[in-house]
Chain A
């Protein structure tokens, strides 16, 4: 059992242990010990509060590692109070440390109030217009390279009604049940409720991950079929991450044999790479099971 290492000058847990608690990375025994102590110890309460502020400051100034950043988003930014603490840290850094990360806080409207920028933008637009005009009039070939003349599409004559009961092909006719049986969901390929279906397995890394086109609209869902290494009956927690941000969570997903199906609403997706983390939750602790990748374009 990993015990809590103590602070050098007091019997409080070390700063690193407190940080690990805030990031949710203590092992089960240390977590239990820490929780009991935090409930009773006013001094530890105060120190943890300060560690929260320190962690928020570190995150705001980019002083946390990549692995910590993911834990920070997953286990720290879970309360309104903490989100506000981080927002204040960011504001303080922006206000007093402008040289650290130069940020453009000027809006487009403010930018166009500056005469020099206004003139420069006007000149650029005029230059583009004159250039385009010259190309169109003097070099029509170049224009045709990019915009070929449209080929008139000849409409195919409308065919006679086909004999649906006497197909001419050799394959058996596709039979669709109008009312879905309970097993349909498990055995059939995508139906119209899903904009797309993507099947991913844990052995595939990001470079070889499947990519799907983002469907227009945004009301539907993408069904992700996650291949598990073995047949499972337990429930899992599934998290969808974009580059560094947790965008979607399903706290309890039940697998179908060796496959776990997760429906992700299209509205939470944007073009980019995504990571799906599947964990087993048992007695309050989470055990990672597999990671999957896919891309959206």
Chain B
């Protein structure tokens, strides 16, 4: 691809075409898009890439521009097509000479305060039962933790692994709530 083409930003028509290629239903396609982006970022991070979000977006842009050519002929899992393009994007990134970069600084006190406020707000939104699970899951010190979790699991009539799963699901909801809260 020529540099001029690379510089061209993704237009709405390309993006809509990409979503339609992923799934005719707009909402299902949106959800698939989010999943694919998250997976690309996870893979790039696992490879030690310092700009995973940037390269994932570059990958999606390239696929979106190619959809017009491949949509009628491509056979197979569409996610794998993204992986192939991502490999090229990553390979090109490794061959370039990027500027050295310092690692993100730690959050300042103000950011921490905002996070705590959002955490409190999101904890308040949980059902009493879910709040109890999360509170007790994170309670107690390290050494007592395993014993405590077994006790909570017994009280709730579930296995320890099931309790972990429940706690992590609640934690996932909390994370989404906090992200939204921090954006506002």
- Using a CB–CB distance below 8 Å, which chain A residues touch chain B? 21-24, 26, 31, 35-36, 38-40, 42, 45, 48-50, 53-54, 57, 61-63, 74-85, 87-88, 91-93, 95-97, 99-100, 245-252, 265, 268, 281, 283-286
The listed residue (B42, B53, B94, B138) touching A95 by CB distance below 8 A is B138
A/B interface sample: 15 pairs, CB < 8 A: A23-B46, A45-B35, A78-B48, A79-B45, A79-B53, A80-B53, A87-B115, A91-B119, A96-B134, A96-B135, A97-B140, A99-B140, A248-B100, A248-B102, A252-B97
Are B77 and A39 touching (Cβ within 8 A)?
yes
Q: Is the CB of A48 within 8 A of B42?
A: yes
Interface residues of B in 117-134 (CB under 8 A from A): 119, 134
Tell me if B65 is interfacial: C-beta within 8 Å of chain A: no
Contact between A54 and B97 (Cβ–Cβ < 8 Å)? Answer: no
Contact of B171 among A21, A53, A247, A250 (CB under 8 A): A53
Given A84-B179, A91-B115, answer yes or no on A284-B94 (Cβ-Cβ < 8 Å). yes
In the bound complex, CA of A24 to CA of B138 (Å): 27
A-B contact count (CB 8 A): 143
Interface centre among A38, A62, A283 (most CB of B within 10 A): A38
Counting chain B CB atoms within 10 Å of each CB, which of A36, A81, A250 scores highest? A81
- Interface flag for B33 (CB, 8 Å): no
Whole-angstrom CA separation of A35 from B172 in the bound complex: 23
- Specify the chain B residue showing the minimal Cβ separation from A83: B104
Q: Is the CB of A93 within 8 A of B103?
A: no
B contact residues around A24 at 8 Å (CB):
45-48
Contact partner of A75 among B48, B91, B94, B102, CB < 8 A? B48
Residues of chain B from 1 to 40 with CB closer than 8 A to chain A in the complex: 35-36, 38-39
Inter-chain contact B100/A251, CB cutoff 8 Å: yes
Q: A39 and B174: CB pair below 8 A?
A: no
B16 → A minimal CB distance (Å): 23
Given known A75-B45, A75-B48, A92-B134, contact A252–B90 (CB-CB < 8 A): no
- The residue of chain A having its C-beta at the shortest distance from the C-beta of B139 within the complex is A96
